[in-house]
Copies of this chain bind each other. A is one copy, B any other.
């Protein structure tokens, strides 16, 4: 990576973007993060991402040494330094250096920025996704922790199954993808997304907030999934992507549906892309 990075309150050159091996992220996998994008130099839904960032930190007992205004200032400085109008920014907060390898003292804040190709993300809609299900419920699913043990471990399995990503389910409930929320259009034309045991994504939240889109939080059963007319996922980077195959079986007629297209249209407009 060739971009400047913020570590705690300092902006450092790429070659200096290192932290102590005694940090609790490395010793104990302990940390949270959030991720937002910029389009034409403007952060998209930054306040929502900051809300969640501070909430995740509090839930994991991680004090943030920067208040919101100071954090936004640091983000601005980093953006000014990197000069990437369309970008992804990741704010990670780890457990920090721990002499005993176990006790939180002063968390480490890391902000990275990378180029984000908005055009390519928009075009990705034309390559609908194949998913494969896997029984798993993320621990502390409502908190955006850095824990992706299962997701990365499952990469060879996903490839073997000819899929692009995994869809977690547990105890009779369809849940989420590792980095995206999941939605179906039922055979009654309801748009459902799981209410519980999932991360509450910002894109998901925006779809739920718009009453005209008529998205409802609900348990999704395997039976409902089998009979779904459409399925799609949402995330900051993926926006709205159609899912046309799950476990090798077609969803609906196997093509992106009208509801999915409508959601996507609304989202692109809301982000000023379309």
A residues with CB within 8 A of B: 1, 5, 7, 17-31, 59-61, 90, 92, 94-95, 99, 101-104, 110, 112, 136, 139-140, 145-153, 155-156
Residues of B close to A155: CB separation below 8 A: 61, 103-104
Report A19 CB to chain B, min CB distance, Å.
Answer: 6
Residues of B close to A104: CB separation below 8 A: 152, 155
**Main SS of chain A's interface residues?**
mixed
Distance in angstroms between the alpha carbons of A31 and B24 in the assembled complex: 12
A29 engages B25 (CB within 8 Å): yes
Residue in contact with A29 in the complex, picked from B102, B110, B112, B149, CB distance below 8 Å = B149
| Top 8 closest pairs, chain A to chain B, by CB | A29-B29, A18-B18, A28-B148, A29-B146, A25-B26, A29-B147, A17-B21, A21-B110
Specify how many copies of this chain sit in the oligomer.
2
- Known A26-B146, A149-B145, A152-B95; judge A21-B21 contact (CB<8 A): no
B140 engages A99 (CB within 8 Å): no
Report A235 CB to chain B, min CB distance, Å.
Answer: 13
Residues of B close to A7: CB separation below 8 A: 21
- Known A140-B150, A152-B95; judge A17-B27 contact (CB<8 A): no
Report A78 CB to chain B, min CB distance, Å.
Answer: 13
